[in-house]
Amino acid sequence: MSKRQRALIIGGSLAGLFAANLLRKCDWDVDIYERTQGDLASRGAGIGTYRQLFEIMASLGIDNLEAKCIPLYRRLCFDLNGEVIHEINQLHTMSAWSTIYDALRKLVSENEYHSGKQLVDIEQNANKVTAIFSDGSRETGDLLVGADGLRSTVRQHYAPEVEPVYAGYIAWRGMVEENDFSPEDHAQIFENYAFGFPEGEQFLAYPVLGRTNENVRGKRAYNFVWYRPARADTELRDLCTDENGLCHGTAIAPPLIRNDVIEDLKTDAKRLLAPQLAWMVNQVPRPFFQAINDLESKQLVFGRVALIGDAAFIARPHVGGGITKAAIDADNLARALAAHASIDAGLAEFEQQSLHFGRGVVDRARGLGAYLEGQLKPLQERTLQQQSRDVRKVMQEQGAALTNELLSSDKPAH
């Protein structure tokens, strides 16, 4: 009988794949259970990278990512007339969700990755944990890793009180094909970040690999994100109401967004943004939006169960580190388990490290979004942070390096 320890990993997206690969490297047997059948579709266009992401990928033998990344050297801020009013030279490298997913997925065998398995319940005693799936099957291991994202079943089982909290603004998004840019705009903008700061709002855009996932001139795309305040009980409800008058709560599938909502957005773009930026919004047939949330766990370990990735913490996208955070959580877990003979001691160390990191990232992103959040309050009720906006700081903080203090209070950086 095998003496190796066995981890049951719930969720086969990036956090689950990082956990499986890093734990296997530390001699664990790993099984991933993903409710979706087949490979996952890409989630998100551009992924801002961090040094730690490349280092963790390299520790798994994945060191050929650079060719699939787009380096951005400059950040430009445009005024309403289309003039550059701030320019900052600061490198940030963009990758793509599917680039990271494909590289990690290839390292996991079909015996280890179980598609179409939805976790519905968990049982555990002092040493073992059992996952129960919707098809009635059961699997028992020494550890269960909840890598099942924003609406985590694992988190809801142990900490149902922890829920996403709407931040008071949404992000409109869309992608423009590289070949649609005029030669002048392409030369000025395409390989840079572009920012715009309408009163109370924030617009940024950057190049991504595009639909074919190829880093080839002409086949790439430019992705915009436009943050706009929206009251939960009125504006957000209206935005999430379809043509038939049905309100979909706080999130609506992109094809169901009403035409008049999209037309209003395009008209607002012409009124509030530089012509180059307004052109992007108008060039995309159907931009879509997501409500911005904070999610903050108070506890990450429940006996032999650990939460990682988006299941544990979600920071607003201003830090742009969802994937790097998933990688660091999984790395913290594997390192802590490898450093201790006892699983419980390893889990305690993991929890300390990843709570510190998760809280730090959420706080940093909340600070960067404070000005947007404050827009829904009367001026006299806004905190100092909510009142002030330092445009150059916002530009610099996008994808800024993760500090040692953020990563850990006691551990050297990777």
Determine if 147 is a binding residue for ligand FAD (CB under 6 A): yes
Nearest in space to 312 (alpha carbons), one of 186, 158, 91: 158
Determine if 322 is a binding residue for ligand FAD (CB under 6 A): yes
Residue selected from 98, 153, 352, 398 as contacting ligand FAD according to rule CB under 6 A: 153
Determine if 40 is a binding residue for ligand FAD (CB under 6 A): yes
Measure the CA–CA gap between 246 and 241, rounded to whole angstroms.
5
Measure the CA–CA gap between 270 and 291, rounded to whole angstroms.
23
Determine if 47 is a binding residue for ligand FAD (CB under 6 A): yes
Question: Which DSSP letter does residue 241 get?
Answer: B
Determine if 170 is a binding residue for ligand FAD (CB under 6 A): no
Q: Which residue has the tokens 């060039």?
A: 283
Determine if 289 is a binding residue for ligand FAD (CB under 6 A): no
Asked if 376 and 231 count as a contact pair (C-beta separation under 8 A), the reply is: yes
Taking CB under 6 A as the binding criterion, the range among 5-13, 157-165, 331-339, 350-358 that sits at the site for ligand FAD is: 5-13
Nearer to ligand FAD, 173 or 376 (CB): 173
Question: Which DSSP letter does residue 281 get?
Answer: H
# residues near ligand FAD by CB under 6 A: 32
The distance between the two most distant Cα atoms of the chain, rounded to a whole number of Å, is 72
Determine if 237 is a binding residue for ligand FAD (CB under 6 A): no
Handedness of CA 210, 215, 219, 220 (dihedral sign): positive
Long-range contacts of 185-191 (CB under 8 A, 24+ apart): 185/276, 185/279, 188/76, 188/276, 189/76, 189/222, 189/276, 190/220, 190/222, 191/70, 191/72, 191/73
Residue selected from 6, 7, 11, 24 as contacting ligand FAD according to rule CB under 6 A: 11
Determine if 53 is a binding residue for ligand FAD (CB under 6 A): no
Taking CB under 6 A as the binding criterion, the range among 76-84, 157-165, 322-330, 358-366 that sits at the site for ligand FAD is: 322-330
Least distance in Å: CB of 318 to ligand FAD? 11
Least distance in Å: CB of 77 to ligand FAD? 21
Measure the CA–CA gap between 183 and 179, rounded to whole angstroms.
9
Determine if 248 is a binding residue for ligand FAD (CB under 6 A): no
Residue ranges that bind ligand FAD, judged by CB under 6 A: 10-16, 33-36, 40, 43-47, 97, 118-119, 147-150, 153, 309-311, 320, 322-323, 326
